[in-house]
Amino acid sequence: GAGVSQSPRYKVAKRGQDVALRCDPISGHVSLFWYQQALGQGPEFLTYFQNEAQLDKSGLPSDRFFAERPEGSVSTLKIQRTQQEDSAVYLCASSFSDRGKSPLHFGNGTRLTVT
């Protein structure tokens, strides 16, 4: 596709439910990033993939958060037993290479609301 695609655009979950958020990066992009953006804040790094390898997951807030990219393209961010503090916009971004200069292309995000 022309850009990074994320689905669903909106997700409402009851506390305790599991959710799965999907990211379709730009074709051929090696690097994929997940960010969490709380209301009124800047995005905060969650995790990073280079192809199928998860090279950095230092930003995942708890072991309830899990991300995968099994074939080096589409990625899924899974949140188990959702809590109210998980409510945020989850942004996915991809870039052509892992070099710092390669710009990140962001999707429109998934807004997760936990009730």
Partner 1 sequence: AQTVTQSQPEMSVQEAETVTLSCTYDTSESDYYLFWYKQPPSRQMILVIRQEAYKQQNATENRFSVNFQKAAKSFSLKISDSQLGDAAMYFCAYRSLLNTDKLIFGTGTRLQVFP
From 15-23, 27-35, 70-78, 79-87, span contacting partner 1 (CB under 8 A):
27-35
Q: Residues 6 or more apart from 53 whose CB is under 8 A from it?
A: none
45 binds partner 1 (CB under 8 A): yes
Beta strands 5-7; 10-13: pairing state: unpaired
Decide: is 52 part of the binding site for partner 1 (CB under 8 A): no
Q: Is 33 in the site for partner 1 (CB under 8 A)?
A: yes
**CB count, 10 Å around CB of 110?**
21
**Tokens representing 96?**
């052509």
What is the binding site for partner 1 (CB under 8 A)?
31, 33, 35, 40-45, 48, 55-56, 59, 89, 91, 93, 98-101, 103-104, 106-109, 111
